[in-house]
Amino acid sequence: MQLRGSAPAMTRLRLLLPVLAALVLLLAAVAVADDGAALLEIKKSFRNGDTALHDWSGDGASPGYCSWRGVLCDNVTFAVAALNLSGLNLEGEISPVIGSLKSVLSIDLKSNGLSGQIPDEIGDCSFLKTLDLSSNNLEGDIPFSISKLKHLENLSLKNNQLVGVIPSTLSQLPNLKILDLAQNKLSGEIPNLIYWNEVLQYLGLRSNNLEGSLSPDMCQLTGLCDVKNNSLTGTIPDTIGSCTSFQSERMADLSIFRDLSNNQLTGEIPFNIGFLQVATLSLQGNKFSGPIPSVIGLMQALAVLDLSFNELSGTIPSILGNLTYTEKLYLQGNRLTGSIPPELGNMSTLHYLELNDNQLTGFIPPDLGKLTELFDLNLANNSLGGPIPENISSCVNLISLNLSSNTLSGVIPNEVARMRNLDTLFLGNPGLCGYWLGSSCYSSSHTQRSSISKAAILGIAIGGLVILLIILGVACWPYSPPAVKDVSVSKPDTFASASSIVHPKLVILNMNMALHVYDDIMRMTENLSEKYIIGYGASSTVYKCVLKNSKPVAIKKLYAHYPQSLKEFETELETVGSIKHRNLVSLQGYSLSPNGNLLFYDYMENGSLWDILSKAADNTVMEMVDPDISDTCKDLGEVKKVFQLALLCSKRQPSDRPTMHEVVRVLDSLVSPGPLPKPAQPPASQQSSTAPSYVSEYVSLRGGSSLSCANSSSASDAELFMKFGELGQFCTSIRELFKAEESFFVVLLSHDPGLSTTP
């Protein structure tokens, strides 16, 4: 059935088709004429255009220009769609006629010798998506007309001589993904509005003259930001831990790094920087002061750590030895003191270790000989003493060894002398001798001994006299025990407003949790609901959480809350991260949040240590004793008493914990065989008389009841470990049960069911 009126409509359509075709041809002809003429004008602006663009000839009236070098046309309209003249060594200026290419989508003039200013007419190329003018000699300001290019996705002006400020109007480009203005002479501050561009994937501003401080708004940028080699001042924002602009959210993209080096940033390196999951952390060439945050030792993804040429002080954290995937460690040019941690020998993939130009003392640790992948070891310009370790020769790939300007002494090992391809520097160590320096060790050592013998004897005599006087003074000084402070655990009922707290971030240390974020954990545990609680500790509550891969983890929530307890949380992270033991579960991640500071551990189904002591077989209990002392500690009863004592002192409520007097009585029962005495609280005046003399003296020296478990209501596991570790040194009757620190640390941590030991 044919619809009425359809025939006239079809007739009109047939009549319109020739008209439309003619209109298209007319527009194409106009475009051909305009684009062809514009290309010839552009060629005239290049001083060497006749040579570099020799095939650009004719009047430009025909579409033959579509075959010219670097020109790409639309297949229908024959309008210029792309102009690529990169790498042709063109000289001259960019002609304003370039704005006549109305349909061009891409202009690429990089790697030439172009000079002059960027013409304002570039903003007339309204369909432009890519503009690359990098690696030229362009001068002047960045034209504001670029802000009219609403389709622009890629703008690269790097490596020129551009001056002035960064136009804030660039933030109005809705489709801009790449903005690279690096290696120019731009000045002023970075416009905050740029950070709020939701589609911007890369902001390259390195090697300019930019000033001002790092804005907290930079964390709004979802892409990457590079501000290396500028004149930025101030401190690193505390919110950097939540910045995605300095890291990659995907574990597969950890090779992407961010760089704040060579600015004028000051202050301490913030603790929250440990929340960045980056492969390279470079802060070199600034004015950072204070210690190196120990939390950096938990950034397992780091391949390069560069903190060189700052004003950092303090010691090198031993926890840096946990960075087993780090290839480059640069700490030179600071004010670091103390000795070189032997734990650095655990960095098995390390290629470069630069510790020169500091104030390090002590010996060179022989553990550095385990770094078999090391290429460069530089310890120059410190105050290191002692001999050169022979096992440095185990670093078979070592190419450069610089130990100059220290106080090293002794013979240069022959093993080091025989190493191939080794550029070695020993200058500035007058105490060294041997083949390398062309001096005999026998004559010099004999002369040295004879010349210092009298001075050594006199020094020893004076030192001994001073020590004796100090001992006598301490013994005769009247002692008055310090006042006991009542410290209690406080759990805040309210938190800061949501606007003042950065969105919590989960730092992943184990691939088991690689696909999870903080919100996932909260959703799986219903915001840490009570029904997921599996136990309590003296300073924490433990929850069970089943991950997306159906594997459970134990979540330890500390009672001290964010952000008041950053220092305490950092201390616990350092302690847990640096201690390894077969009966300790591994740390899988951590987080700071309004819900409390969270630690994520492996979940074990073995119950608590109390269950093991009361139900397990005797051999299971003995397996928890450190193997170094288990051969000398055969009395199962003594072991159980000490373990039970440790558990009592880690009770959740202070009132449930024994006093120090009761602790002394329990330990006294181990000295005098017999049943475990029933704790009793005598008057304070009688407490010191009931304990063995050596224990009473220890309690008096340490402050008496200040070590009471009941009074240590806020004592953490690590603090209890230290107190009982010291007290255990005086309890010789238990056959040095606390000789190994790890043994007692296991006792304290294992009271939480979620952190239970592996029998």
Q: All domains of the chain, ordered by start, with CATH?
A: 26-211 (3.80.10.10), 498-602 (3.30.200.20), 609-755 (no CATH)
Angle between helices 717-728 and 566-578 (to 10 degrees): 60
More confident residue, 598 or 629: 598
Q: Is 433 exposed, middle or buried (0-12, 13-18, 19+ CB in 10 A)?
A: buried
Which segments are annotated as binding site for ATP? 557
pLDDT score for 455: 57
Local confidence band at 582 (pLDDT 50, 70, 90 cut-offs): low
The Cα-based distances of 539 to 149, 265, 583, 708 in angstroms read: 59, 37, 20, 16
From the centroid of its chain, how far is CA 334? 18
Mean pLDDT, range 236-258, rounded to an integer: 51
Alpha-carbon gap, residue 757 to 646, rounded angstroms: 15
- Name the DSSP letter for residue 291: P
User: CA-to-CA distance for 312 and 336, rounded, in angstroms?
Assistant: 6
Mean pLDDT to the nearest integer, 307-327:
94
Query: What sign has the CA pseudo-torsion 404, 407, 408, 409?
Result: positive
Which residue type sits at 658?
A: P
Instruction: Compute the distance between CA of residue 728 and CA of residue 638 in angstroms, rounded to an integer.
Output: 13
735 has a pLDDT exceeding 70: no
748 closest CA partner among 675, 658, 650, 625: 650
pLDDT, one tens digit per residue, over 651-678 is: 666 666 777 777 777 766 665 544 444 4
What pLDDT band is residue 136 in, cutting at 50, 70 and 90? Answer: very high
**How far is it, in rounded angstroms, from Cα 604 to Cα 551?**
11
Identify which has the larger pLDDT, 736 or 56.
56
The torsion region of residue 329 among left (phi > 0), alpha (psi -120 to 50) and beta comes to: beta
Q: Which backbone phi and psi does 600 adopt, to 5 degrees? A: -110, 125
Q: What is the mean pLDDT of the chain?
A: 74
Whether pLDDT at 165 is above 90: yes
Q: How confident is the model at residue 681 (pLDDT cuts 50, 70, 90)?
A: very low
CA-CA distance, 408 to 364, in Å (whole number)?
9
> What are the residues whose beta carbons fall under 8 Å from the beta carbon of 312, sequence distance 6 or more?
269, 288, 289, 290, 291, 292, 331, 334, 335, 336
Report d(CA 621, CA 644) in Å as an integer.
12
- Decide: 121 and 99 in contact? Cβ < 8 Å: yes
Low-confidence winner among 120-134, 182-196, 481-495 (lowest mean pLDDT): 481-495
pLDDT at position 620 is 60
The values of phi and psi at residue 110, to 5°, are -70, 160
- What pLDDT is attached to residue 485? 39
Percent of the chain past pLDDT 70, that is, above it, reads 62
Per-residue pLDDT reduced to its tens digit, 31-56: 555 888 899 999 999 999 889 998 89
Which residue type sits at 730? F
Does the pLDDT value for residue 234 go beyond 80? yes
Closest by CA to 114, choosing from 137, 86, 134, 84, is 137
Nearest to 365 by CA among 326, 347, 391, 397: 391
SS (H, E, C) 596-634: CCEEEEECCCCCCHHHHHHHCCHHHHHHCCCHHHHCCCC
pLDDT class of 638 with cuts at 50, 70, 90: confident
- Cβ distance 645 to 669 under 8 Å? no
d(C-alpha 41, C-alpha 45), whole Å = 7
Per-residue confidence band for 577, with pLDDT thresholds at 50, 70 and 90:
low
Q: Report DSSP state, residue 207.
A: S
Report the C-alpha gap between 101 and 126 in whole angstroms: 9
**Side-chain-facing half-sphere of 84: CA atoms under 13 Å:** 8
Q: What is the mean pLDDT of residues 581-610?
A: 74
| Beta-strand pair 540-546/533-536 | antiparallel
Given CA atoms 431, 434, 437, 442 in this order, what sign does their dihedral have?
Answer: positive
Give the pLDDT band (50/70/90) at residue 352. very high
Residue 223 has pLDDT above 90, yes or no: no
Most confident of 18-22, 173-177, 605-609, 624-628: 173-177
Per-residue pLDDT at 579: 64
Percent of the chain with pLDDT over 90: 32
Predicted confidence at residue 275, as pLDDT, reads 78
Q: Which two tokens stand for residue 705?
A: 């009841």
Which pLDDT band holds residue 616 (cuts at 50, 70, 90)?
Answer: low
Note the pLDDT of residue 245: 45
Average pLDDT over every residue of 749-753: 38
Instruction: Grade residue 433 by pLDDT with cuts at 50, 70 and 90.
Output: confident
Inter-residue contact 61 to 36 (CB < 8 Å)? yes
Least-confidence region, from 204-218, 231-245, 528-542, 554-568: 554-568
Q: Identify the pLDDT of residue 489.
A: 34
As a whole number of angstroms, the distance between CA 753 and CA 738 comes to 23
DSSP class per residue in 243-275: -STTS-SSGGGTT--EE--SSEE-SBPPGGGGG
Rounded distance between C-alpha atoms, residue 203 and residue 186, angstroms: 14
- Could you write out the DSSP letters of every residue in 58-114? S-S-SGGGGGSTTEEE-TTT--EEEEE-TTS--EEE--GGGGG-TT--EEE--SSEE
pLDDT in tens, 52-83: 998 898 776 667 888 899 999 998 888 999 99
Is a pLDDT exceeding 90 seen at residue 105? yes
Residue 482 has a pLDDT of: 45
Please state the rounded mean pLDDT for residues 138-152.
94
What is the mean predicted confidence (pLDDT) over 346-368?
A: 95
Per mean pLDDT, which of 333-347, 595-609, 645-659, 694-708 is the most reliable?
A: 333-347
What is the pLDDT, as a whole number, of residue 662? 74
pLDDT classification of 421: cutoffs 50, 70, 90? low
User: Which helix (H) or strand (E) segment is 225 a member of?
Assistant: strand 224-226
Return d(Cα 90, Cα 212) in angstroms, integer.
Answer: 37
Contact yes or no for 129/105 (Cβ under 8 A): yes
Binding positions: 557
d(CA 480, CA 664): 20
How many CB atoms are closer than 10 A to CB 187?
15
Phi, psi of 722 (to 5 degrees): -65, -45
Is residue 490 pLDDT above 90, yes or no? no
pLDDT of residue 120: 94
Please report where in the chains the tokens 């006093």 appear, as a residue. 659
For position 287, what pLDDT does the model report?
93
> Which of 718, 721, 717, 716 minimizes the C-alpha distance to 740?
721
| Amino acid (1-letter code) at residue 302 | L
Residue 171 has pLDDT above 70, yes or no: yes
Report the C-alpha gap between 744 and 415 in whole angstroms: 41
Selected residue with higher pLDDT from 679 and 266: 266
Q: How far is CA 206 from the centre of its chain?
A: 21
Cβ atoms of residues 283 and 260 within 8 Å: yes
Q: In what order do the strands lie in the sheet with 106-108?
A: 71-73, 80-84, 106-108, 130-132, 154-156, 178-180, 202-204, 224-226
Q: Residue 190 pLDDT more than 50? A: yes
What is the DSSP code string of 472-484?
HHHHHS---PPPP
In this predicted structure, the answer to whether residue 633 has a pLDDT above a threshold of 80 is no
